[in-house]
Amino acid sequence: MSTLSKRSAGSHALPPSKRRDLRQTPQLPTADDLNVPLTEPSDLLATFTAQTEHKLLTNLLNDPALRPGVIAHIHALLADGYPAYVSSIRTRADRATEPLREPSDYRQKKMISIGDHAEACMPFLHDVVRVARLPFPGAAKQAFELLREIHDHSMPDYENVGDDEEKRTQFDEAVDDLLAGLLRRLRELGDKEALDENWLKELHDELQGAAEHCQENFDMEDLFAKTISLLEDCLAIEIGSSDEEGQPEEGDSQVQTEQ
């Protein structure tokens, strides 16, 4: 008999009780466990629902003595987790506007107004502000790009009717105000890309093109007016600085002339 056959025969020869001992059995509770206080973190967390978690966190944040420590812990957790938060905002914005972009019945498109897209995206502006306020490097840039994506989600289709302009205008003005504010913050923080003339010009041309497109097709006037004006001011400063750097100093020009 081969070694393998001997092993197989030997294992089959074990009585059932011995074979059960070889397996790892789960540790099941006993009556004694009923008297153990519910204080272990794993046991407490197992009882939590989303509502319980929200209520507990709210109570902790509302306690003046505990709030600083709780906020510090939250910031520490978000340091690694906030990109996932940003990603979740993108996903929710996409889901919120999908029924408007692709309604089940094509005829519904003609009943969707240009304000409906904006209204669907309004709640996410608060998320943009929260991202910008996170105390981490790159948060302002993340918020800036996120806001541009959310505004893209809010853009109507050609089939949409042009009424309900009040909501549309309210949303666009809020986006413009936030974009300008975030751009100022990026420059204050010394973000290299926000200080780069090529990036400023590219962003200016993109927003200017979008504004002209929306005015032509949807009568949406003054889109991104505040941000475009700020970009033009920034570009004027950058171009002026570049010209000054490229010009020789007065003393140098005199020497070159004499030579």
Burial code (b: 16+ CB inside 10 Å, e: under 16) for 18-35 equals eeeeeeeeeeeeeeeeee
Distance CA 201, CA 232 (A): 8
Distance CA 148, CA 91 (A): 14
Using 70 as the pLDDT threshold, list the residues of the chain that sit under it.
Answer: 1-25, 103-110, 158-164, 238-259
Whether this model's pTM surpasses 0.85? no
User: 107: which DSSP letter?
Assistant: G
- The candidate with the shortest Cα–Cα distance to 185, out of 152, 144, 151, is 144
pLDDT for the residue 159: 59
Distance CA 56, CA 192 (A): 41
pLDDT, one tens digit per residue, over 206-248 is 999 989 988 888 777 888 999 999 999 988 876 555 555 555 5
> What does the block give as tokens for 64?
């003046």
Residue ranges covered by each domain of the chain: 58-243
pLDDT for the residue 51: 92
